[in-house]
Amino acid sequence: MISELNDSVTVIKGVGEETAQSLNEMGIYTVSDLMEHLPFRYEDYRLKDLEKVEHDERVTIEGKVHSQPSLGYFGKKKSRLTLKLLVGRYLISVVFFNQPYLKGKINIGDTVTVTGKWDRHRQTITGSECQIGPYKKAVEFEPVYATRGSITVKGLRRYITNAFSQYGTLIRENLPQRFLNEYKLMSRKDALHVMHFPASAGDLKQARRRFVYEEFLLFQLQMQAIRKVQREQSLGIQQSYNLDSLMAFIDTLPFPLTGAQKRVVNEILADMKSPYRMNRLLQGDVGSGKTVVSAIALFASVSAGYQGALMVPTEILAEQHAQSLKAMFAPVNIKSALLTSSVKGKRRRELLEQLKAGEIDVLIGTHALIQDEVNFHNLGLVITDEQHRFGVEQRRILREKGENPDVLFMTATPIPRTLAITVFGEMDVSTIDEMPAGRKAIETYWAKHDMLDRILAFMEKELKKGRQAYVICPLIEESEKLDLQNVLDVHATLTHYFHGRYKVGLMHGKLPADEKDEVMKQFSTNEVQVLVSTTVVEVGVNVPNATTMVIYDAERFGLAQLHQLRGRVGRGSDQSYCILLADPKSETGKERMKIMTETNDGFVLSEKDLELRGPGDFFGKKQSGLPEFKVADMVHDYRALEVAREDAAKLIASKEFWAGSEYLPLRRYLESTGVLNGEKLD
């Protein structure tokens, strides 16, 4: 029986070889593929009250013809038919383009039903369809489908209609009955039918609700199954660190840990001690103190007899981490080393040999760490900082440099909960949600570009106190050349302005590595007071004496990125400032600037960013790693997502799920995705 739904679409009446080929190109091969090709929107033919219809919205109305239609021609074969229509108490105009034949059909006094676009200002409908006679409630919603090639929406509707009449009764349920009861969900058969042939808005809503839950549950089952497989099959290392020396190490730190730091350290240590491989995401706002957490984890690994590695995306950051870790490890005799592409020749050969011999405990570096020539003696822990900048492949290679080392991903981009449980659904997540005590909130202001003089005066006041400043220029043009010009121009302007008083440095991605290092060094030693830079300083850079940041064209950045940039100041005990130069045109643009001035909380901002820009833009298009849902919307339907996640976790952990016949369709589905064969997404 079931096999019939898996038959080729050619068994559907009206679908020949050629049509089938076009359908194949749309990803539709079988009868069930066709039935599951859902509309992406609906044409709404419900009668509406014109007063409640927005300008430019499509609408269907019923009215009485109030004037004899008049027909005019313009150009060749182009015509315009106009008439007055009485709709309730309103007299409106209706225009039909290029439908001259309507003239003979419409007469004064007739009741007609017109569908078209409502121009609120002109009180006119530009009609696309006209039916003589009162509104008939035959179809309220007409589905509109994505099509390709020779396939038309009309044709597709016909094939789908035929598919339902030939095979509709064969549609099987895939959700356990108890969920259908508990959440009052439509059966799969009914819901599919409604999606294609909706009788009412209420039905459509219920059908949609069912598919939202189904999509989320199937997705979360995959995530939870991956977690289970990872825990059970990928036996990791049991790192028996020495608790006493770990406590002694924590005592050597210059500050007590915050409550949140203690909590995440415990979560990480529990994973490391356990036999399964840690696969954990550590998220914490800029400045929340992730580096010291990574140091503690690395110490634990070394005290258990293993080596640790810390991989970061840029050389600047690698050097900074190397410095701070070296300082922290000095009192406890842990040997750390830095490996970047600038480490060359004899020095490099020696370092690699020491690493292989196990004489280096902790290696810090850029993706130089994942080159073939880099071999560890016994790698136990891999940490990546700002992990979203590394591809999945790079993470995998680093992990494979040891035998199932524990893995910790750190990120300062606070990830909204909805995204965290989808994109990182197979990982455990630790969150540092508390800042070290005594931090002063950064004051953020939004200014127009024409206020630049006042802003420069403000900067000067801060510089006079012995402080330093960042000036950030965005990538404005598609062309690298023009971007470069932008930052060069600003650099020239400021060099001129501060001439003889303060030194202005320049930093951008096109500088050779040694010049970048030189500039950063000069800035961190206060030889340079103002650093004009592109966003290369976005990640992790730590110069506590810098208290002012000016961001040009701030409207061009996402909120999450602005927040990252802003996090470069406010790192010392002095009051810091962030000035956003922006002339946003759109309302959302203005709203984004306002939000920046109102909150310093990265989580609040990231939720807002997600709301304003949508999930696709959140991580940047290319590396979003976001799953695609047909019906569900992660942001809009996030409550259902959370419910589905809980249900999935409970199912995967239960015995019944793996044996009960009620769950067979779900198990089949999991099998078909391949996640159960020990295959991992990452």
Residue ranges that bind Mg ion, judged by CB under 5 A = 290, 540
658 binds ligand ADP (CB under 6 A): no
Q: Is 258 helix (H, G, I), strand (E, B) or coil?
A: coil
CB of 319: closest distance to Mg ion in angstroms? Answer: 13
Give the residue, chosen from 86, 139, 170, 257, that forms a contact with ligand ADP under the rule CB under 6 A. 257
- Residue nearest Mg ion by beta-carbon distance: 540
576 binds, among Mg ion, ligand ADP, none (CB under 5 to 8 A by kind): none
- The gap between the terminal CA atoms of the chain, to the nearest Å, is 37
> What minimum distance in Å lies between the beta carbon of 435 and ligand ADP?
9
Our CB check for ligand ADP shows the closer of 167 and 470 to be 470
- Output the smallest distance, CB 567 to ligand ADP, in A: 7
- Among residues 324 and 673, whose Cβ is nearest to Mg ion? 324
Q: Please report how close the Cβ of residue 292 comes to ligand ADP at its closest, in angstroms.
A: 5
**291 touching ligand ADP, by CB under 6 A:** yes
Angle at 229 between CA 179 and CA 281, to 5 degrees: 90
CB of 123 to Mg ion, least distance (A): 59
Rounded to 10 degrees, the C-alpha dihedral 134/137/138/142 comes to 110
Among 261, 303, 340, 564, binds ligand ADP (CB under 6 A): 261
| Residues near 602 by beta carbon (within 8 Å), at least 6 away in sequence | 285, 286, 412, 413, 414, 560, 563
The 397-416 contact track toward ligand ADP, x by CB under 6 A, reads ---------------x----
* Pure H helices in 277-387: 290-303, 315-329, 345-356
Which of residues 419 and 435 has its CB atom nearest to ligand ADP in the complex?
435
Instruction: Determine contact, residues 285/412, Cβ cutoff 8 Å.
Output: yes
For residue 370, the minimal CB distance to Mg ion (Å) is 20
Q: How far is the CB of 439 from ligand ADP (least distance, A)?
A: 8
Q: Could you tell me if 534 and 455 are in contact, meaning their C-beta atoms sit under 8 angstroms apart?
A: no
DSSP 554: G
Do strands 336-339 and 443-447 pair parallel, antiparallel, or not at all (unpaired)? Answer: unpaired
Nearer to Mg ion, 269 or 325 (CB): 325
In the complex with ligand ADP, which residue's Cβ is closer, 371 or 525? 525
Indicate the angle between helix axes 587-598 and 602-613, nearest 10 degrees. Answer: 170
User: Is 548 in a helix, a strand, or coil?
Assistant: strand
Residue 288 is a binding residue for ligand ADP (CB under 6 A): yes
Q: Which residues lie below 8 Å from residue 357, measured CB to CB, with a gap of 6+?
A: 377
* The binder of ligand ADP chosen from 292, 304, 469, 528 (CB under 6 A): 292
Q: How far is the CB of 251 from ligand ADP (least distance, A)?
A: 13
Q: Is the dihedral of CA 217, 221, 227, 228 positive or negative?
A: positive
- Candidate list 287, 380, 505, 615; residue touching ligand ADP; CB under 6 A: 287
Using CB under 6 A, which of 289, 425, 474, 584 touches ligand ADP?
A: 289
CA torsion sign for 32, 37, 42, 43 is negative
Site residues for ligand ADP, 410-469, by CB under 6 A, read 412, 436
In the list ligand ADP, Mg ion, none, the entry touching 542 (Cβ below 5 to 8 angstroms by class) is ligand ADP
The nearer residue to ligand ADP, 422 or 564, going by C-beta atoms, is 564
Backbone angles phi, psi at 220, to 5 degrees: -70, -30
Whose structure tokens read 């001439």?
499
Q: How far is the CB of 290 from ligand ADP (least distance, A)?
A: 3
Q: Which residue is nearest to ligand ADP (CB)?
A: 289
Nearer to ligand ADP, 114 or 292 (CB): 292
Question: Is residue 175 at the binding interface for ligand ADP, with CB under 6 A as the rule?
Answer: no
Cβ-based neighbours of 96, under 8 Å, separated by 6 or more: 80, 81, 82, 102, 126, 127, 130
Stretches 288-296, 353-361, 526-534, 622-630: which one binds ligand ADP (CB under 6 A)? 288-296
CB-nearer residue toward ligand ADP: 39 or 284? 284
Q: 186 Cβ partners below 8 Å, 6+ apart?
A: 180, 194, 206, 207, 209, 210
* DSSP 8-state symbol, 567: T
Kindly tell me which residue out of 286, 316, 459, 648 binds ligand ADP, with binding defined by CB under 6 A.
Answer: 286
- Binds ligand ADP by CB under 6 A, chosen from 40, 97, 101, 255: 255
Instruction: Determine which residue in the list 127, 284, 402, 505 makes contact with ligand ADP, applying CB under 6 A.
Output: 284
d(CA 436, CA 426): 30
**Cα angle for residues 511, 502, 442 (degrees, 5° grid):** 85
Cα 568 from Cα 576, distance rounded (Å):
10
Q: How far is CA 452 from CA 577, 579, 598, in A?
A: 15, 10, 22
C-alpha torsion 122→127→132→136, nearest 10 = -100
The binder of 292, among ligand ADP, Mg ion, none, by C-beta within 5 to 8 A per type, is ligand ADP
x/- map, 528-567, ligand ADP, by CB under 6 A? --------------x-------------------------
- Closest separation between CB of residue 367 and ligand ADP, Å? 19
Nearer to ligand ADP by Cβ, of 40 and 255: the residue is: 255
CA distance 267 to 237: 16
Q: Taking CB within 5 to 8 Å according to partner kind, which of Mg ion, ligand ADP, none is near residue 40?
A: none
**Which spans of this chain sit near ligand ADP (rule: CB under 6 A)?**
255, 257-258, 261, 284, 286-292, 412, 436, 542
